[in-house]
């Protein structure tokens, strides 16, 4: 844990003196991912957050690089690595989605948000044209039959926000 007068953080979670918090969802997801990896845990806690953390880890050159940032409470490195591929706005959108997943217990909402976020990350990494990273992403994403289907059928949308109902 690191701290200063204005903030303290552990893992990828940051608290400020103004009761603002950043990184709850990525912290929970990555903690569980390491729990699985290091201790061979069978826990399904924060399932969707783990899947997204696994994808974000692909943005790094190695698992050890993200792990080091996590154990040094260095969310700034996470931000900088992400911004090599995505925008600042996309980073905060992903972090917000992860926070919502960590704090919401509505299964259909969590599933839709998780899939939407994973596909967004996939589109971000595709912009890089880095064939190795794209292949790593696809290997992870293709384990989920629904996501695999949506990737292979890009004209199909999971959620259509423009649907209007008749009253």
Kindly report, residue by residue over 56-106, the tens digit of the pLDDT. Answer: 999 999 999 999 999 999 999 999 999 999 999 999 999 999 999 999 999
Q: What distance, in Å, lies between the first and last C-alpha atoms of the chain?
A: 54
Least confident of 6-10, 39-43, 104-108: 6-10
* CB distance 1 to 9 below 8 Å: yes
Residue 154, token pair as written in the block: 């890009």
| Residue 41: alpha-carbon gap to chain centroid | 20
118 contacts: CB under 8 Å, gap ≥ 6? 51, 52, 55, 141, 144, 147
Q: How many CB atoms lie within 10 A of CB 98?
A: 28
- The predicted pLDDT at position 98 comes to 97
| Residue 69: alpha-carbon gap to chain centroid | 15
- The predicted pLDDT at position 163 comes to 46
Q: Which residue has the higher pLDDT, 8 or 11?
A: 11
Distance (Å, whole) CA 17 – CA 160 = 39
The yes-or-no verdict on residue 162 having pLDDT over 50 is no
Query: For the chain, which residues make up each domain, given as ranges?
Result: 2-152
- The predicted pLDDT at position 161 comes to 56
Residue 40, token pair as written in the block: 């061979």
32-70 residues labelled b (16+ CB within 10 A) or e (exposed): bbbbeeeeeeeeeebebbbbbbbbbbbbbeeeeebbebb
């Amino acid at each position: 844990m690191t701290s200063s007068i204005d903030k303290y953080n552990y893992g990828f979670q940051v608290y400020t003196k103004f009761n603002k918090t950043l990184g709850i969802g990525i912290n929970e997801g990555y903690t569980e991912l390491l729990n699985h990896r290091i201790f061979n845990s069978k826990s399904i806690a924060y399932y969707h957050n783990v899947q997204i953390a696994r994808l974000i880890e692909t943005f790094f050159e190695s698992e050890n690089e993200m792990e080091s940032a996590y154990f040094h409470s260095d969310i700034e490195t996470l931000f900088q690595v992400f911004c090599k591929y995505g925008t600042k706005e996309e980073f905060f959108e992903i972090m917000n989605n992860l926070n919502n997943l960590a704090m919401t217990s509505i299964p259909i909402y969590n599933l839709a948000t998780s899939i939407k976020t994973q596909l967004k990350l996939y589109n971000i990494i595709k912009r890089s044209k880095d064939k190795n990273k794209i292949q790593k992403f696809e290997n992870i994403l293709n384990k989920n039959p629904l996501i695999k289907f949506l990737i292979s059928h890009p004209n199909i949308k999971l959620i259509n926000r423009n649907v209007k109902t008749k009253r």
